[in-house]
């Protein structure tokens, strides 16, 4: 029997370790030694072995739909990018990548764009899931640095889950919470979510607040803590700045429990209970996710939440901290290498002259891009209006996942140079490609990913890629060489890239940046192969990695202090009205992942919720003449979709829920994001996926 190979699940940001035994039937088991899951797995991870195989795989490069050899495809891509840059400048080229890429893939594509091509137009689908949390951390803590570990969740006495249905979106983390609650019934769990989700099954308190009002709740908590003597004055005075302004803003917006209750449309007794719990429970971890992030004020919501932890000194200590849960397997690894358009590599700032000069020196290039590039929504807008003339999309399906998705599809169809690297044909974006590049996928490629708790794990290949499929890092490196950058793209393996990435993180760092894995810069191939999961930083001070950040109360800001940010809560940009009276919330279901290109390959995962649906409260269903199980048309100013009605009292009246997964290959006319508007947070650029006014009507075929 073949030996089991240790690797990592390619789905969510929990980053579970798996043991895979290759063979005719690939056996996938949870890894009992991996610190993220400790032998647990969820339905998606357990079914991974059934998603493999050649059906629907892209096996050969294509130009204009005609199969070609790799040399021809790579020459074509290099030639198209070069000709667009020569004719229109580097801003006319863009890359749109994915949290599915491994850190090594991300590193080389970011280097090509920012270090060689001369612009910073590289953004990622991680923009859609956690960029508001990134900005909130950066503003408050000085760096995009998640302070906690999963272990803190088990050491806390109070867990607040805000805008997170972890039971479905981070299932193994939820399993850890459930196990801890069973072991220690005194552990309190508060869920803040307009919907009663599966996560509420273990909640001691569920705050079903009005959609979009989270900042009022956390502002109200801050002003309550100040009134009730719940602040850590010593921590605030020694380790923070901005407290007075933040408190003044909080008091202005949410001066009392009745005011918070009114703004959030919650019973005052529930608000009071939450505030009392937070006041009395020092060991508190607040987890947040897309429910707060996917908002036109997502950064402010994160800031209001972080303010409460800074004001109480609940950060950097066991069982405490503000903890953003990332959606994707390598959203954090992408951030480490600068995979967002407003970042430089290794957590350096693109607008920092000294940092740019440092990175250019390290890379051996004359300059690096000096202005932030286009964030995801702006990037596709620039494709639509012709400013971007060549776009290379890797491992993601923006025709389904971007807001105003029909407009994105039309923009790509009209664009002259659309290059798509993907592993399957069942991605709607593949249909828009002028050049199609077959990529290797999970199980076929080597590299690293970083999960939500800063833990770097090795993703390991256990089978060869089918046909001519190749790893993304190889494809990008070959294009870079053909564009004349071979001297700075010398890579022969993912290990070569990892060493450079590690070296850059430690280069002239001297404690300026928390993200530092410089101690791994000389790792040899053999050690890279057996690298055990470890949390950054990994440097001289933390040779084995670090479980918790900011234990010394010292933050990577100019004065070493964290910043409380004043937050003036804002309502969603577009509110429900006569024409579109219901608010649509989009999100994930338990057994599907993103646009279903992998999870729909196994019947086991499609039985849970087999078809697109619109979840609606029975009172609303009565009002709009909808019956359970009937087909309904959901319409917004952007577009419409068809879905099965599911009556559910767990839904808040006035709001409906529609899953974001279905693509055209699995259900016609069911893309949730055909209905969402391209409205974003002004700082993070994250779209307002959680608040789209719609109307729902019985479907009447014409």
Q: Are 200 and 162 in contact (CB under 8 A)?
A: no
Position 49 contacts ligand SF4 (CB under 6 A): no
48 vs 315 by CB, closer to ligand SF4: 48
Q: How far apart are CA 552 and CA 503, in angstroms?
A: 25
The answer to whether 130 contacts ligand SF4 (rule: CB under 6 A) is: no
CA dist 111 and 478 (Å) reads 13
Q: How far is the CB of 42 from ligand SF4 (least distance, A)?
A: 3
Q: What are phi and psi of 436, to 5 degrees?
A: -120, 125
Q: Is 159 in the site for ligand SF4 (CB under 6 A)?
A: no
* 443 interacts with ligand SF4 by CB under 6 A: no
Task: Report if residue 14 touches ligand SF4, rule: CB under 6 A.
Answer: yes
C-alpha 465/C-alpha 424 separation (Å) is: 12
Neighbours of 464 (CB within 10 A): 9
Kindly state the smallest distance separating residue 17's Cβ from ligand SF4, in Å: 9
Q: Is 42 an interacting residue with respect to ligand SF4 (CB under 6 A)?
A: yes
Contact between residue 11 and residue 44 where contact means Cβ atoms under 8 Å apart: yes
3-state secondary structure of 59: coil
Q: 3-state DSSP helix/strand/coil percent for the chain, to nearest 5?
A: 35, 15, 45
Burial of 178 (0-12, 13-18, 19+ CB in 10 A): middle
CB of 283 to ligand SF4, least distance (A): 24
CA–CA dist 193, 394 (Å, integer): 33
Cβ proximity to ligand SF4: between 309 and 458 the closer is 458
Q: Binding residue for ligand SF4 (CB under 6 A) from 6, 15, 399, 476?
A: 15
By CB under 6 A, name the one of 20, 26, 31, 44 that touches ligand SF4: 44
Phi, psi of 5 (to 5 degrees): -110, 135
Distance of closest approach, residue 428 Cβ to ligand SF4, in angstroms: 23
Q: Is 9 in the site for ligand SF4 (CB under 6 A)?
A: yes
Q: What are phi and psi of 284, to 5 degrees?
A: -125, 130
41 binds ligand SF4 (CB under 6 A): yes
Which of residues 218 and 288 has its CB atom nearest to ligand SF4 in the complex?
Answer: 288
- CB of 420 vs ligand SF4, minimal distance in Å: 25
Least distance (Å) from ligand SF4 to the CB of residue 156? Answer: 20
Smaller CB separation from ligand SF4, 444 or 516: 444
Residues 594/331, Cβ–Cβ less than 8 Å: no
Binding segment toward ligand SF4, per CB under 6 A, in 9-17, 465-473, 552-560, 692-700 = 9-17
Number of residues that bind ligand SF4 (CB under 6 A): 14
Task: Specify the residue, 172 or 189, whose C-beta has the smaller distance to ligand SF4.
Answer: 172
Hey, how many other C-beta atoms are within 10 angstroms of the C-beta on 640? 15
R_g over Cα of the chain: 24
Q: Residue 159's Cα: distance from chain center in Å? A: 21
Closer to ligand SF4 by Cβ: residue 196 or 588: 588
Q: How far is the CB of 249 from ligand SF4 (least distance, A)?
A: 36
Separation between Cα atoms, residue 583 and residue 605, nearest integer Å: 28
Residue 589 binds to ligand SF4 (criterion: CB under 6 A): no
H or E, element range at 273:
helix 268-280
Per-residue 3-state assignment (H helix, E strand, C coil) for 76-108? HHHHHHHHHHHHHCHHHEEEEECCCCCHHHHHH
6 binds ligand SF4 (CB under 6 A): no
Please report whether residue 332 would count as binding ligand SF4 according to CB under 6 A.
no
- 457 or 505: CB nearest ligand SF4: 457
Q: Identify the three-state secondary structure at position 687.
A: strand
State the minimum distance, in angstroms, from the CB of residue 177 to ligand SF4: 12
Binding mask 168-207 for ligand SF4 (x = CB under 6 A): --xxx-----------------------------------
Token pair recorded at residue 664: 């055209």
What residues make contact with ligand SF4 under the rule CB under 6 A?
Answer: 9, 11-12, 14-16, 37, 41-42, 44-45, 170-172
């Amino acid at each position: 029997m073949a030996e089991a190979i240790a690797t990592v699940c390619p789905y969510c940001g929990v980053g579970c370790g798996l043991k895979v035994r290759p063979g005719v039937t690939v056996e996938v088991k949870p890894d009992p030694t991996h610190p993220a899951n400790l032998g647990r797995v969820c339905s998606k991870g357990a079914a991974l072995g059934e998603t493999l195989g050649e059906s629907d795989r892209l096996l050969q490069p294509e130009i204009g739909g005609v199969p070609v050899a790799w040399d021809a495809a790579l020459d074509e891509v290099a030639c198209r990018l070069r000709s667009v840059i020569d004719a229109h400048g580097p801003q006319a080229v863009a890359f749109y990548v994915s949290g599915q890429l491994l850190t090594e893939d991300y590193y080389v594509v970011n280097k090509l764009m920012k270090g060689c091509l001369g612009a910073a137009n590289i953004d990622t689908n991680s923009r859609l899931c956690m960029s508001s949390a990134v900005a909130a951390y950066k503003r408050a803590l000085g760096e995009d640095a998640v302070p906690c570990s999963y272990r803190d969740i088990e050491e806390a006495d109070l867990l607040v889950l805000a805008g997170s249905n972890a039971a479905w979106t981070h299932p193994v983390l939820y399993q850890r919470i459930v196990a801890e609650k069973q072991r220690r019934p005194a552990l309190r769990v508060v869920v803040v979510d307009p919907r009663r989700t599966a996560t509420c099954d273990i909640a001691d308190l569920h705050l079903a607040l009005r959609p979009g009002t989270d900042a009022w709740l956390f502002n109200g908590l801050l002003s309550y803590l100040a009134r009730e003597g719940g602040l850590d004055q010593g921590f605030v005075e020694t380790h923070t700045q901005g407290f007075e302004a933040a408190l003044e803003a909080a008091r202005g917006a949410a001066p009392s429990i009745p005011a918070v209750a009114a703004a959030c449309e919650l019973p005052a007794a529930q608000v009071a209970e939450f505030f009392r719990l937070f006041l009395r429970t020092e060991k508190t971890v607040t987890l947040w996710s897309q429910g707060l992030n996917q908002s036109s004020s997502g950064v402010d919501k994160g800031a209001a939440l972080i303010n409460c932890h800074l004001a109480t000194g609940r950060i950097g200590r066991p069982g405490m901290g503000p903890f953003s849960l990332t959606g994707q397997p390598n959203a954090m690894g992408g951030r480490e290498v600068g995979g967002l358009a407003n970042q430089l590599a290794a957590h350096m700032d693109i607008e920092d002259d000294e940092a740019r000069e440092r990175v250019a020196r390290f890379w051996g290039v004359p300059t690096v891009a000096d202005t932030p590039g286009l964030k995801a929504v702006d990037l596709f807008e620039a494709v639509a209006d012709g400013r971007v003339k060549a776009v290379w999309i890797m491992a993601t399906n923006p025709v389904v996942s971007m807001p105003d998705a029909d407009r994105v599809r039309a923009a790509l169809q009209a664009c002259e140079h659309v290059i798509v690297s993907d592993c399957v044909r069942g991605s709607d974006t593949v249909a828009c490609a002028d050049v199609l590049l077959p990529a290797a996928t999970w199980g076929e490629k080597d590299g690293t990913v970083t999960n939500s708790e800063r833990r770097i794990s090795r993703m390991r290949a256990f089978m060869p890629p089918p046909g001519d499929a190749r790893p993304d890092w190889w494809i990008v490196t070959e294009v870079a060489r053909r564009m004349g950058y071979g001297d700075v793209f010398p890579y022969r393996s993912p290990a070569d890239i990892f060493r450079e990435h590690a070296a850059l993180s430690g280069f002239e760092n001297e404690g300026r940046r928390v993200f530092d894995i410089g101690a791994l810069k000389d790792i040899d191939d053999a050690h890279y192969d057996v690298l055990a999961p470890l949390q950054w930083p990994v440097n001289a001070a933390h040779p084995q990695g670090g479980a918790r950040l900011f234990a010394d109360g010292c933050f990577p800001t100019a004065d070493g202090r964290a910043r409380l940010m004043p937050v003036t809560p804002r309502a969603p940009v577009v509110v429900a009205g006569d024409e579109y009276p219901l608010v649509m919330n989009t999100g994930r279901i338990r057994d599907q992942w993103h646009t279903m290109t992998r999870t729909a390959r196994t019947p086991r995962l499609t039985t849970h919720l087999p078809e697109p649906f619109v979840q609606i409260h029975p009172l609303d269903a009565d009002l709009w003449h909808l019956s359970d199980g009937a087909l309904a048309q959901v319409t917004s100013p952007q577009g419409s979709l068809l879905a099965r009605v599911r009556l559910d009292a767990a839904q808040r009246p006035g709001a409906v829920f529609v899953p974001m997964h279905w693509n055209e290959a699995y259900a016609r006319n069911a893309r949730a994001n055909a209905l969402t508007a391209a409205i974003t947070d002004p700082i993070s650029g994250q779209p307002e996926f959680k608040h789209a006014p719609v109307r729902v009507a019985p479907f009447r075929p014409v």
